[in-house]
Chains A and B, each alone.
Chain A
Amino acid sequence: MASFHEEEALGKAYDHRLMVRLLAYVRPYWLLVGAALLCILISAGLAAIQPFLTKVAIDRYILQHNPGGLRWIGLLFLAVLTVGFVLQFAQTVMTQWMGQRIMYDIRVEIFSHLQRLQLKFFDKNPVGRLMTRVTTDVDALNELFASGLVTVFGDLLTLLAIMVVILELNWRLALLTFTVVPLIIMTTTVFRRKARQSYRDVRAAVARISAFLQEHVSGMSVIQLFNREHRSFQQFDEINERHRKANYDSILAYAVFYPVVEILGSTAVALIIWYGGHEVLKNILTMGTLVAFIQYSQRFFRPIQDLSEKYNILQAAMASSERIFKLLDTPVTIASPKEPGIAGEIRGEIEFQHAWFSYSDSATPTDEEWVLKDISFKVKPGESVAIVGHTGAGKTTLMSLLQRFYDLNRGAILLDGLDIRNLDLGDLRCQYGVVLQDVFIFSGTVESNIRLGTEWIDEEQIQNAAVDVNLYDFIRELPNGFKEEVRERGHTLSVGQKQLMAFARALAHDPKILILDEATSSVDTETELKIREALARLMRGRTSIIIAHRLSTIQNCDRIIVMHKGQVREIGNHQELLARRGIYYRLYQLQYRDQEDRVPPATALPNPAYEGNIP
């Protein structure tokens, strides 16, 4: 619920600090802004000329019975229209283009910042919310840049131009017309306040409807099981009613506003007819000027009303920019040091020195909050180590720390004797080939999933990797081979194929160190054998740290590290640890012994693709 409220919160309509920061994005396009403003300036002038042409037509030609001159006025009018057309076109294209460029700049900035942020940030912020920053919030800014800011100037300039022209035509009549302006401004201000309030109410009601639906649709079976249909409906009805009420308030504001503005407008016309009529009768004012004044008064009010409409755009943009800047201001806490130590060609030695870690932000985590307690061990270059332990022992955390997704609270992790905090992040992570338990497949092709974005990997290397991890036969069968599309988290691939794909991905990147979190899901025997073989090839010549779930993997590793409740409790090989009859012995009984019966050629437990349990 809280997220809905946050998303819907509306701040101030204008915040100087935010505005200054927003305008910084316009700076690179100042030439364009200048050109657009010039267009607007001329357009405003042209708009102010049209009634004047009517005046001239009436006074000089129509009332003087001069049909020849009238043609010239007609042509001039046409010319004004044409130039106006061109200028408006140019201005729209320029401002919209600028809006697009600025959106591009901001999007890329947000996305780039997101790429640099540490995992802790992603643990706390749901993907959906971050998506909104890159999409909806940026769009709100586009509204401001593309249509808001510039047209505000357009409206102001038009207003100014008309004022200048009519003052020039007849300043007394002009001043008389202006007497209506304070009333217009007052009406607009009152309207704006009402409209803003009802806008907020409506937004809040919409948010409440969404939150309610989200919750009740997700929990529909609970509602039905507990016979709550009727009361849930009543609750919904109440919220829905509040939404309707808020909208009625908004209708009232608009329904009053438009007619009132019209009354004021016709008051202006009435004043012009009354006072201007007198002047016409006294021959002080020409008929044409009177008509022009009437036309001007009608053009005069539109920009004032338009200006008030821009208010909502501004308000939405301010709220969005606040959220965007908050994201951009999130500090990157895990970054490369200014002067990174040189990793270069590494040997692949890893050492944990009294490592303590907690996910909690507190400086003094409680005993329960420590996920890793005083972990120390060393892995020699080229050595393979299996990490085993019960759920919650801290195995996965260990892997994350190696890649410096989080920083230790105490102690250090050394790579070839260098503290990983002193290495360039990219340098560090490029040393690893990582295979996660839950293989993440990106939509794209088989090839793009193996290569990811790494350019130096050529097609031959991709093919070799596929061959080495026993995936090549499968790929060859695909209609488009390596170019075959895979979609939506690889739903079309089997668990085993995804595994092998992840192996190929790691292998193609030819890392010095292999980090592997073995998948727990069981696969058929044939695939099992393929995976086993592929893994052996993957480990060859590399330092390997493996969270092992397969007995075969454990037995193939040089050493086994047994973790329990955040500590390293036993280290040794399979036989030694079994003989010790400690934690490993029990883990073996619990998790691995069953697999002994399954070691081929015996068949694996039957595992039909779809059985039981409706999700």
Chain B
Amino acid sequence: MSENLKPLWPYVKRYRRRIALGFVCVIVTNAVGMAFPWVLKVAIDDLVRALTTEKLLKYPLMLIGITLVQAVFRFSMRWVLIGISRDIEYDLRNDLFSHLLKLSTRFYHHNRTGDLMSKATNDVAAVRMLVGPGIMYTANTVVATVLALAIMLHLDSRLTLLALLPLPLVSVAMRYLGSLIHDRFEKIQAMFSDISARVQENLSGIRVVKSFCQEDAEIETFKRMNREYVEKNLGLIRIWGTFYPSLEFLIGLAFVVVLWLGGLQVISGRISLGSFVAFNTYLGMLVWPMIAFGWVVNLVERGAASMGRINVIFVTPADIVDNDVTLSDAPPIRGDIEFRNLTFAYDGHPILRNINLRISRGQRVAIVGHTGSGKSTLVQLIPRLYDAPPGTLFVDGRDIREYPLEALRSAIGYVPQETFLFSETVAENISFGVTHTTAEEIQRVAEVSHLHADVREFPKQFETLVGERGITLSGGQKQRTAISRAVLRDPKILILDDALSSVDTDTEERILRELDVVMRNRTSILISHRVSTVKNADQIVVLHQGQIAEQGTHQELLAHEGYYADLYRKQLLEEELEQI
């Protein structure tokens, strides 16, 4: 557990002055609070001895005074200590996201979004409970117990020891019942996830369920699982039901001891009635810390486990970053790309083999091939979403690693296969990759991708929100937004990964013509399944099972009578079908 908590230390250390201040508040709050029963004791003893009416006003005022002072410190205690926990939560979450931003695509391939989110939300919250209420109540418990015990021992040591006999039992019972509850709770949680999984499956497979008239059978199964779940819960409830009542019983026992034995002490004149009443009050002050103790132990355990889970992310190194190979004074990128005998494997599976491909500045290169032939991987290596082996991928004749990552990516306009837009306005999405832009610029790139006519129909034009809160863009509109986004970066290298698939062929042709103008003297790489997209490229590459199978211009490849020629024939057929 302490191993898990180690990474938390720097965060806590940052606030050590305020934590110290918080601890001072805890001590003062409790110390002042201890005076309260004492005043009661003196007041009652005076009453028994029949004091003057004048004096009678003094004690109530003292009591109120004590609570006022205490209130100030109690307020500060919470404000400072819980406040720190919110600050640490904030720091931790920021650091976590900041680290996530550095991790490469490979990491995201291996970690589900849901898991990462749960770490950044639930686990961070559990750690927050540990450093906030966890620390505050621990401090409070320790200080209150020490102070109250000291005074009670001073009042009557024998009575204190007798009265406190049941209290350790409280902590023992908390721990024992606590672990029992924990175990059963785990089992119940497991059962609950089974039920959730079942519902998830049922709803995902609702077509099959309905097709085979399994609704009633499914309901029966659901009922059966839920009955079992209720059964398991009842087991927990029986323990749970004894939990708080036993606490109250044990605490009550302490009060019985004080009432009985303490009463005898008063009768025998060993303590005063005031001490007796004060004793009761001090005992009352110990109750909550005892209860809190068990709760705090639980908080700490959970917080430590969560910190462990969060730390798994922190210790994942960012693998695609600038390092000592990187040149600080790398020249600007012009746009020549060369794959030199490149072989690339992912998780032990070979994806690309012996790729030799030269793309010179100003060229338009098209890549075609079956799904799974390695097309996307090939172009993903250029912006270093994945790293090619050293000495296999060159930009302007230099190994790609020599360029600072930021400089490399700045030179690239990338339109991914699956268009990802953010829930922001159309304008914000288009200007996603640039720091400054103007309305005219946005208009211009929207014209390049032929998005401007669509935007004119949107309720707030370029200021329309994209996504569920705004308008839902069609597949083609999304792709064209993504193209605008890439073009606005004024890239030296433009990569379109099957980015025109949802755009009709007419528009596609017009966009390609516009891109011709924009990309003059720059490099563009197009992946497509459509002949219409690729036929005018300077170079067409056919990938098959990770290797270059065919390479040449449209005419050359048609003459070759291979994959490309077949693709072309089918395209013509599809067009014919469209016409019918």
**Interface size class, chain A:** 35 or more
Q: Is A185 interfacial (CB 8 A cutoff)?
A: no
- Could you tell me if A267 and B64 are in contact, using CB atoms closer than 8 angstroms? yes
Alpha-carbon distance A586/B552, docked complex (angstroms): 28
Closest chain A CB from B116 CB (angstroms):
5
Determine which of A63, A92, A210, A237 lies in contact with B94 in the assembled complex, contact meaning CB atoms within 8 Å.
A237
- Could you tell me if A114 and B273 are in contact, using CB atoms closer than 8 angstroms? no
Using A61-B263, A78-B256, A436-B208 as known contacts, say yes or no to A452 and B217 having CB atoms under 8 A apart: yes
- Could you tell me if B576 and A586 are in contact, using CB atoms closer than 8 angstroms? yes
By a CB distance below 8 angstroms, the chain A residues around B210 are 119, 403, 405, 429
By a CB distance below 8 angstroms, the chain B residues around A232 are 101
By a CB distance below 8 angstroms, the chain B residues around A442 are 201, 205
Q: Is A20 interfacial (CB 8 A cutoff)?
A: no
By a CB distance below 8 angstroms, the chain B residues around A265 are 67
Q: A-facing mask of B77-94, CB < 8 A → 1, else 0?
A: 011001100110110011
Alpha-carbon distance A256/B79, docked complex (angstroms): 9
Closest chain A CB from B102 CB (angstroms):
7
Name the segment of A104-112, A309-317, A337-345, A461-469 touching the other chain: A104-112
Q: Is A598 interfacial (CB 8 A cutoff)?
A: no
By a CB distance below 8 angstroms, the chain B residues around A612 are 351-352, 371-375, 377, 543, 545-546
By a CB distance below 8 angstroms, the chain B residues around A122 are 203, 206
By a CB distance below 8 angstroms, the chain A residues around B349 are 610-611
- Could you tell me if B217 and A453 are in contact, using CB atoms closer than 8 angstroms? yes
Q: B-facing mask of A248-270, CB < 8 A → 1, else 0?
A: 10011011101110110111011
Closest chain B CB from A349 CB (angstroms):
20
By a CB distance below 8 angstroms, the chain A residues around B57 are 274
By a CB distance below 8 angstroms, the chain B residues around A240 are 90, 93-94, 97
- Mark out the residues of chain B between 115 and 152 whose CB falls within 8 Å of any chain A CB in the assembled complex: 116-117, 120-121
- Could you tell me if A65 and B267 are in contact, using CB atoms closer than 8 angstroms? yes
- Could you tell me if A287 and B44 are in contact, using CB atoms closer than 8 angstroms? yes
Q: A-facing mask of B370-405, CB < 8 A → 1, else 0?
A: 011111110010010110000000000000000000
Determine which of B98, B204, B226, B259 lies in contact with A74 in the assembled complex, contact meaning CB atoms within 8 Å.
B259
Determine which of B192, B230, B377 lies in contact with A100 in the assembled complex, contact meaning CB atoms within 8 Å.
B230
- Could you tell me if B267 and A611 are in contact, using CB atoms closer than 8 angstroms? no
- Could you tell me if A613 and B374 are in contact, using CB atoms closer than 8 angstroms? yes
By a CB distance below 8 angstroms, the chain A residues around B574 are 390, 590
- Could you tell me if B213 and A429 are in contact, using CB atoms closer than 8 angstroms? yes
Closest chain A CB from B314 CB (angstroms):
16
Known A244-B89, A281-B56, A612-B371; 9 more pairs at CB < 8 Å: A2-B467, A58-B273, A77-B260, A111-B222, A135-B199, A240-B97, A443-B201, A614-B109, A614-B386
- Could you tell me if B573 and A586 are in contact, using CB atoms closer than 8 angstroms? yes
Q: Is B176 interfacial (CB 8 A cutoff)?
A: no
- Could you tell me if A255 and B79 are in contact, using CB atoms closer than 8 angstroms? yes
- Could you tell me if A263 and B199 are in contact, using CB atoms closer than 8 angstroms? no
Determine which of A81, A130, A213 lies in contact with B256 in the assembled complex, contact meaning CB atoms within 8 Å.
A81
By a CB distance below 8 angstroms, the chain A residues around B82 are 251, 254-255
By a CB distance below 8 angstroms, the chain A residues around B173 are none
Q: How many residues of B contact A (CB 8 A)?
A: 149
Q: Which residues of B contact A (CB under 8 A)?
A: 36, 40, 43-44, 47-48, 50-51, 53, 56-57, 59-61, 63-64, 66-68, 70-72, 74-75, 78-79, 82-83, 86-87, 89-90, 93-94, 97-98, 100-105, 108-109, 113, 116-117, 120-121, 192, 196-197, 199-223, 226-227, 229-230, 233-234, 237-238, 240-242, 244-246, 248-249, 252-253, 255-256, 259-260, 263-264, 266-267, 273, 276-277, 280, 284, 346, 349, 351-352, 371-377, 380, 383, 385-386, 406, 409-410, 412, 414, 416, 420, 422-423, 432-433, 467-469, 485, 489, 543, 545-546, 569-570, 573-574, 576-577, 580
Q: List 28 A-B contacts (CB under 8 A).
A: A2-B468, A58-B263, A62-B267, A84-B249, A84-B252, A100-B237, A103-B230, A111-B218, A131-B199, A213-B116, A240-B90, A243-B90, A244-B86, A244-B87, A247-B86, A254-B78, A256-B75, A262-B67, A262-B74, A266-B66, A267-B64, A274-B57, A277-B56, A277-B59, A295-B280, A430-B213, A432-B211, A612-B545
Most A CB within 10 A of own CB, among B201, B234, B422: B422
Q: Is A152 interfacial (CB 8 A cutoff)?
A: no
Using A108-B219, A108-B223, A233-B98 as known contacts, say yes or no to A426 and B117 having CB atoms under 8 A apart: no
By a CB distance below 8 angstroms, the chain B residues around A440 are 204-205, 207-208
Q: Which residue of B lies closest to A133 (CB)?
A: B199
For the complex of A and B, list the 3 residue pairs with the smallest distance between their C-beta atoms, beginning with the closest: A453-B217, A226-B433, A259-B71
Alpha-carbon distance A464/B12, docked complex (angstroms): 67
Closest chain B CB from A72 CB (angstroms):
10
Closest chain A CB from B160 CB (angstroms):
18
Q: B-facing mask of A144-163, CB < 8 A → 1, else 0?
A: 00000000000000000000
Main secondary structure of the interface of A (DSSP, over half): helix
- Could you tell me if A127 and B226 are in contact, using CB atoms closer than 8 angstroms? no
- Could you tell me if B573 and A436 are in contact, using CB atoms closer than 8 angstroms? no
Alpha-carbon distance A614/B348, docked complex (angstroms): 12
By a CB distance below 8 angstroms, the chain B residues around A294 are 40, 277
Determine which of A1, A236, A430, A515 lies in contact with B423 in the assembled complex, contact meaning CB atoms within 8 Å.
A1
- Could you tell me if A2 and B469 are in contact, using CB atoms closer than 8 angstroms? yes
Determine which of A57, A454, A615 lies in contact with B214 in the assembled complex, contact meaning CB atoms within 8 Å.
A454
Q: B-facing mask of A442-464, CB < 8 A → 1, else 0?
A: 11000000001111000000000
By a CB distance below 8 angstroms, the chain B residues around A130 are 199, 203
By a CB distance below 8 angstroms, the chain A residues around B211 are 403, 429, 432, 434, 436, 515
Q: Which residue of A lies closest to B423 (CB)?
A: A1
Q: Which residues of A contact B (CB under 8 A)?
A: 1-3, 5, 50, 53-54, 57-58, 61-63, 65-67, 70-71, 73-74, 77-78, 81-82, 84-86, 88-90, 92-93, 96-97, 100-101, 103-104, 107-108, 111-112, 114-116, 119, 122, 127, 130-131, 134-135, 206, 209-211, 213-229, 232-233, 236-237, 240-241, 243-244, 247-248, 251-252, 254-256, 258-260, 262-263, 265-267, 269-271, 273-274, 277-278, 280-281, 287, 290-291, 294-295, 298, 390, 403, 405, 426, 429-430, 432, 434, 436, 440, 442-443, 452-455, 505, 509, 515, 564, 569, 582-583, 586-587, 589-590, 606, 608, 610-615
Closest chain A CB from B307 CB (angstroms):
18
